Amino acid sequence: MAHLNLLAFSIGGFMFFIGLEYFISRRTGKNYFQFAESIANLNIGIAERLLDIFVTGLFYFFFDFIYRNFALWHFKPTWYTWFLLFLATDFVWYWYHRLAHEVNILWAAHVVHHQSEDFNYTVSARITVFQAAFRSLFWAVLPLMGFSPAMITSLLLVHGLYPFFIHTQTIGKLGFLEYFMVTPSHHRVHHSSNEKYLDKNYGDVLIIWDKMFGTFTKEEDAEPCVYGLTTPLKSHSFLWQQFHFMLELWTAFKRATSWKDRWKVLFGKPDDIDPNIRPQLELIWLRQRGPQEQTKGQRIYVVLQTALSIILLFLTTLFEHYIPAGLSVFIVLFIIVSLMNSGAILEQKKWFFYLEYSRMLLLAIAFLFYVPHLYVFMSVLLFVGLLTFYFSRIRAYFHRWLFQ
Tens-binned pLDDT, residue by residue, of the chain (404 aa): 568 888 899 999 999 999 999 999 999 989 899 999 999 999 999 999 998 888 888 889 999 999 999 999 999 999 999 999 999 999 999 999 999 999 999 999 999 999 999 999 999 999 998 998 899 999 999 999 999 999 999 999 888 899 999 999 999 999 999 999 999 999 999 999 999 999 999 999 999 999 999 999 999 989 999 999 999 988 899 999 999 999 999 999 999 999 999 999 999 999 999 999 999 999 888 866 555 678 888 999 999 999 999 999 999 999 988 998 889 999 999 999 999 999 999 988 888 999 999 999 998 888 888 887 878 788 888 888 988 888 899 889 888 888 87
Q: Does one domain contain both 10 and 87?
A: yes
Judge whether 222 lies within some domain: no
235: number of Cβ within 10 Å = 20
Judge whether 224 lies within some domain: no
Judge whether 267 lies within some domain: yes
The CA distances from residue 68 to 8, 77, 343, 355, in Å, are 30, 16, 44, 46
Q: Does one domain contain both 329 and 366?
A: yes
Nearest-angstrom CA–CA distance, 313 and 164:
19
Q: Does one domain contain both 324 and 246?
A: no
Residues pairing with 192 in the sheet: 227
Q: Which pLDDT value is given to residue 289?
A: 58
Q: What is the DSSP letter of 293?
A: P
Residues pairing with 206 in the sheet: 181
Q: Does one domain contain both 109 and 190?
A: yes
Q: Answer left, alpha or beta for residue 243, where phi above 0 means left and psi between -120 and 50 means alpha.
A: alpha
Q: Give the helix, strand, coil percentages of the chain, each rounded to 5.
A: 70, 0, 30
Judge whether 219 lies within some domain: no
The answer to whether residues 233 and 281 touch, using CB atoms and an 8 Å cutoff, is no
Q: Which pLDDT value is given to residue 376?
A: 77
Last residue of a domain, one of 149, 178, 213: 213
Last residue of a domain, one of 151, 180, 213: 213
Judge whether 200 lies within some domain: yes
Q: Which pLDDT value is given to residue 1?
A: 57
Q: Does one domain contain both 281 and 342?
A: no
Q: Does one domain contain both 201 and 275?
A: no
Burial class (CB in 10 A: 0-12, 13-18, 19+), 93: buried
Q: Does one domain contain both 276 and 378?
A: no
Q: Which pLDDT value is given to residue 58?
A: 86
Judge whether 103 lies within some domain: yes
Q: Does one domain contain both 156 and 258?
A: no
Judge whether 233 lies within some domain: no
Burial class (CB in 10 A: 0-12, 13-18, 19+), 70: exposed
Q: Does one domain contain both 159 and 242?
A: no
Last residue of a domain, one of 262, 285, 308: 285
Nearest-angstrom CA–CA distance, 137 and 131:
10
pTM above 0.85, yes or no: yes
Q: In total, how many domains does the chain have? A: 3
Q: Does one domain contain both 178 and 271?
A: no
Judge whether 230 lies within some domain: no
The answer to whether residues 313 and 49 touch, using CB atoms and an 8 Å cutoff, is yes
Q: Does one domain contain both 162 and 254?
A: no
Q: Does one domain contain both 173 and 277?
A: no
The answer to whether residues 44 and 112 touch, using CB atoms and an 8 Å cutoff, is yes
For residue 393, give its domain range. Answer: 296-403
